[in-house]
A = this chain, B = another copy of it.
Amino acid sequence: MTQPRYTPLVAALPATVPFVGPEAQERARGRPSAARLGANENGFGPSPRAIAAMAAAAGDAWMYGDPEVHDLKAALAAHHGCRPENVVIGEGIDGLLGYLCRLLLEPGDPVVTSEGAYPTFNFHVAGFGGMLHTVPYLGDHEDPQALLAKAIALRPKLMYIANPDNPMASHHPGQTIAEMVTQVPEGTLMVLDEAYVELAPEGTEAPIDADDPRVIRMRTFSKAHGLAGARVGYALGHPDLISAFDKIRNHFGMSRISQAGALAALSDTTWLAYMRRLVDGARETIAQIARDNGLTPLPSATNFVAVDCGQDGAFATAVLEELAAADVFVRKPAVAPQDRCIRISCGPEAEMKALATALPSALKRARDRTSG
């Protein structure tokens, strides 16, 4: 029988996926979530202007989206004080990370990241045969000096750091990140994932020239702008690197509706300011719910809070499972000792209340299970 002849790389790849979606959990459970707080989505939703722009664009969906994404790219360049040549727009940061790995990685190439950092980056590295080399977190922060030391030792093609970090919501001052860039070894490209930076304290955005060839910065409309389902990410970098994406990307891959939504969202600075206040309030609400239950919320520079459950990873997993059984969807870090936490996304009042309602008995059941 004829079989497709996969590449040896693909034949050796595992069938695992980076994340199981909340819909799969809901289907398994047979009912929807009462609180969808696990995927770091922004339950406060996008700007009403973005919603209106997308609804208006729905009737234009017979047209392909502009493959150059010209208008959004121009607006982003103006927003960031750089040139359109510094900007590439793609199907979420996930899509752009995949393209980036494809541009640079051959089987066996080393890549440096933190143990327990963004799994989808690791998925794409593995997908192109890259070899992941990790350093541990330092006190629930990614560790710039350890990352640099590993990079200097291995001279990887890529070194990844997120600021603020996912899954811990910790952050470094932007100046620390900018100083990292100056120490990146020759031949290594630093991938700076700033998916959450619009929600971080002032000074977290690293002061880096968009023309700096040593770093590529990843941004998204999925978090602060509340457009995860629209799939609009972008990267800022040196024009040579940015133009390389054109050699391989799915040129007509960007939804026309999503382009319109992101453009409207970017222009609605009033909404973004309002969103920062909403997220700030929800962070405090989650922290208070955690404290009310004897748990320890970690400081957050993002739209989610890592909550230390005070025991090991098995206990935090039990808490997560019990919350899921009570229709509250959260996720958790995968690697010790960060896996002692659960990761709860900010959301509107009804979802915060569902969390507050479910958590005490979830904790009790988790304690009963793990003390047994």
Contacts and interface: CB of A to CB of B under 8 A. Distances in A.
Interface of A: 1-8, 10, 13-15, 17-21, 23-24, 27, 36, 39, 41-46, 50-52, 54-55, 57-68, 70, 91-92, 94-95, 98, 102-106, 120, 127, 157, 184-189, 213-214, 222, 226-231, 240-241, 243-244, 246-248, 250-258, 261
Given A61-B229, A63-B36, A213-B4, A251 B17 contact: yes
Nearest to A259: B229
Nearest to A39: B64
Chain A interface mostly: loop
Contact of A61 (B6, B19, B51): B51
A94 B255 contact: no
Nearest to A229: B256
Contacts of A243: 15
A260 B261 CA distance: 16
Nearest to A43: B62
Closest 8 CB pairs of A and B: A229-B256, A54-B58, A55-B55, A23-B66, A61-B229, A62-B226, A13-B247, A21-B67
A127 B57 CA distance: 32
A31 to B, nearest CB: 15
Contacts of A257: 54, 58, 229-230, 255, 257-258
Nearest to A105: B7
A58 B63 contact: no
A66 to B, nearest CB: 4
Contacts of A3: 187, 213, 240
A63 B41 contact: yes
A102 B248 CA distance: 11
Contact of A189 (B4, B20, B45, B46): B4
